[in-house]
Chain A
Amino acid sequence: MLEIKDLHVEVGGTGILKGLNLTINAGEVHAIMGPNGAGKSTLSYAIAGKEGYEITKGSVTFKGKNFLALECHERAGEGLFLGMQYPVEIPGVSNMNFLKTALNSIRRYKDLPEMAAVEFLKFIRSKASELKMDIEMLKRSVNVGFSGGEKKRNEMVQMAVLEPCFAVLDETDSGLDIDALRTVSEGINRFRSPENAALIITHYQRLLDYVVPDFVHILAEGKIVKTGDKDLALYLEEHGYGAIENDAA
Chain B
Amino acid sequence: MVSTAETRKAVEDVSADYKYGFVTDIDTEKAPIGLSEEVIRFISAKKNEPEWMLKHRLKAYKMWLKMEEPDWSLLHYEKIDLSKTYFYSAPKSAADGPQSLEDVDPELLETYKKLGIPLKEQEMLAGVQNIAVDVVFDSVSVATTFKKTLNEKGIIFCSISEAIIDYPEMVQKYMGSVVPMHDNFYAALNNAVFTDGTFVYIPKGVRCPMELSTYFRINEQNTGQFERTLIIADEGSYVSYLEGCTAPQRDENQLHAAVVELVILDDAEIKYSTVQNWYPGDKDGKGGIYNFVTKRAACRGVNAKVSWTQVETGSAITWKYPSCILQGDGSVGEFYSVAITNNHQQADTGTKMIHIGKNTKSVIISKGISAGKAQNIYRGLVKVMSNAENARNFTQCDSLLIGDRCGAHTVPYIEVKNPSAQMEHEATTSKISEEQLFYCQQRGLNIEEAMGVVVNGFCKDVMIQLPMEFAVEAQKLLGISLEGSVG
Contacts and interface: CB of A to CB of B under 8 A. Distances in A.
Contacts of B267: none
Contact of A90 (B444, B449, B453): B453
Q: Which of B445, B454, B456 has the most CB of A within 10 A?
A: B445
A175 B434 CA distance: 24
Interface string B409-447: 000000000000000000000000111101111111111
Interface string B443-481: 111110110011011111100000000000000000000
A84 B435 CA distance: 11
Nearest to A164: B444
A88 B453 contact: no
B438 A72 contact: yes
Nearest to B434: A51
Interface stretch (A27-35, A58-66, A91-99): A91-99
B436 A105 contact: no
B444 A73 contact: yes
Contacts of A90: 436, 439-440, 453-454, 457
B454 A77 contact: no
Contacts of A49: 441
Q: Which of B433, B442, B450, B457 has the most CB of A within 10 A?
A: B442
B291 to A, nearest CB: 27
Contacts of B438: 48, 50-51, 72, 88
**Main SS of chain B's interface residues?**
helix
Nearest to A83: B442
Interface string A35-56: 0000000000000111110000
A91 B442 contact: no
Contacts of A101: 445, 449, 453
B435 A102 contact: no
A77 B458 contact: no
A102 B446 contact: no
Contact of B444 (A52, A93, A102): A102
A89 to B, nearest CB: 8
B458 A72 contact: no
Contacts of A235: none
Interface in A69-118: 71-73, 75-77, 80-82, 84, 87-93, 98, 101-103, 105-106, 109
B444 A88 contact: no
Q: Which of B434, B440, B444, B449 has the most CB of A within 10 A?
A: B444
B434 A92 contact: no
15 contacts: A48-B438, A52-B434, A71-B447, A73-B442, A75-B442, A88-B435, A88-B436, A89-B436, A91-B457, A98-B443, A98-B453, A101-B453, A105-B449, A106-B444, A109-B444
Given A76-B442, A102-B445, 20 more contacts: A48-B438, A50-B442, A51-B434, A73-B441, A73-B444, A75-B442, A80-B442, A84-B442, A87-B439, A90-B457, A92-B458, A92-B459, A92-B460, A93-B453, A93-B454, A98-B453, A101-B445, A105-B444, A105-B449, A162-B443
